[in-house]
Structure 1
Amino acid sequence: GTAGFDLAERTARELGRTVMQTFAEHPAASGEHLASPTGFGRIPRDHTARFLEGRGYVLGQVERKSVFDLHADASVVVAAAAAAAEFAVGYEVVQWEYPTPEEFTLDYAWMKSRMSTDTPVGDMEVDEEVWDADRVRRMEQRYLDSGERVLVTAARHVASGRLCAFNELASRTDPTLASSQMDTLVLSEHRGHRLGMLVKCAGLRRWRELVPDSPRLLTFNAEENRPMLSINETLGFTPAAYIGAWRRDLE
C-alpha cells in the first residue's frame, strides 16, 4: 500500500496534479468513528482510515452501499410506481438497452454530463464532464463488447419531448451474479414530480424480466443525498457498507 501510494502521488506531481482522491470501503465496526464533513454519515476509524490519515488524506464524504433483493415480493415497487405516476403528470417513461436510440442520444449525453455537477460531492473535487454522442457510443461499446447488459429508464417531458431523468441498471457478464444500479439523476428544473421514483420503479420492474437470475442489486449514494436515499429505502434497499471518500491536497 505504501509503495503504491508513493508511486501514485509521485506520478500525480510529475503530471502537475494538485489533488489526490481515493475511495475505500469501511466495514461496520465498534470503537472510534470519523464523521463526514457534510454532517451525514460516518465510518469506523479502522486500519484503512488510519493508513490514509497517516498519508495526509482527510475524509471528504461518506457514501452508502445499499442492496436490493431482486427476488423479493414486488408489491412495494408496484405500489410506489403507481403513487409516483400520480405526481408525474405531463411525463412519460421510455426505456432502452444499449445502444441508445439515435433520438435519445443527445439528451442522454446531456444528463450524463449533469452527473458531474448536480449530485452531492462533499469536500471532494469533481471536474465538470463533457459528454457528446461520440462519448456515449464509446462507453456503450465497452459494455457491449464485454457481454454486459445495460437498461436505461428515462422520463420524457411530453410538452418539450426532452428527456429529464434517467436510471441505469447493468448486469455482469454472468447474469446470475449481482447487478448494479449505476447513475440516477433528475435534472434540477424537473425535480418535485417524483421522477426519481418513477424511473427507478420502472427500471426495477423491467429488470426482473430481463435478468431473472440476478439475485440482488447494488448501488452507492452519498449519505447527504437524502432524496435519492429516501427513494431507495422506500423500495426496500438496505445498507450493506459505507464508503469513505478521501482527499489529499498535494504540497
Structure 2
Amino acid sequence: MIVLITGASAGFGAEMARTFVSNGHRVILAARRTDRIADLAAELGDAALPVTLDVTSRPSIEAALAGLPADWKQIDVLINNAGLALNTVPAHEVPLEDWETMIATNCKGLVTMTRLVLPDMVARGSGLVINIGSTAGHYPYPGGNVYGATKAFVEQFTLNLRADLVGTGVRATNLAPGLSGGTEFSNVRFKGDDSAAAKVYEGTTPLSAKDIADTAYWIATLPPHVNVNSIELMPTCQGFSPFTIKRA
C-alpha cells in the first residue's frame, strides 16, 4: 500500500507515517518543511519518500505528483492531514488574513489534493481518501468561527464524495478528533505563544497523535467493501458544553 500524507512534517502526519511504515507500507511524506520531512524519511528508511509540497498552491501539488518516481505513483490512500487553526478571538476582531489562510489550507488545499489524486483511484477501481476533520466542525464554540466552518466543510465534502463514488470501489472518510495534544496545533493557533498553548491542555489527558494514527490505520486496513463515512473521537476528559446564555 502506498499512502500519501499531507502535513507529514509533524503531529498527526508524522505519527501516521510512522504507523503505516512500521506495518509494512510505503509513505509519501508531503509537506512544506523540506528539512523536517527529510529527517523523518531518514528515520523511516526506504519505505518513506519525502516530497516538498504546499497544498495552498495548485502548481506545487501538480509538480509534486508529476515528479513521483514511477513505482510511487499509484497512491492507494490519500490522507488530507494538512490544516491549521489560527486565533481564538471573536469574529469581529480576528484578522481577516487568518480566515483566508485557514480557508486556503483546510478547504481549498484539501479539495485540490483530492481532485488531482482521485481520477487514478477511480480508474483502478480502488482507493481511500481520509480527510482529517474535527469535532469543531460539528459543535460551535466561541473563537472557533472560521476554523469550525472549514471543518464542517471537510465533513460535508467527504459525504458528498461518498455520494459520487458509490460503486467505484473508492472510499472516503472524515476522521474528526477532539482535544488532541502532543502536536504543534495550539502553538500555531496562538502564533508561537507556548504558554497559551500549554494552558489548553492543563489538567487533561488529551488524545495523542498515536491515537489518531492508529484510527487512520484501522480505517485504511478494513475490508475494501467497508466504508467509514465519519468517525469522531474525544478524550474522556472532554464533553459537551451547555448553550451560552447572555444575561443582562
Higher helix share: 2
* Greater gyration radius: 1
TM-score by length of 1: 0.26
Higher strand share: 1
Q: Which gives a bigger RCO, structure 1 or 2 (Cα 8 Å, sep 6+)?
A: 1
TM-score by length of 2: 0.26
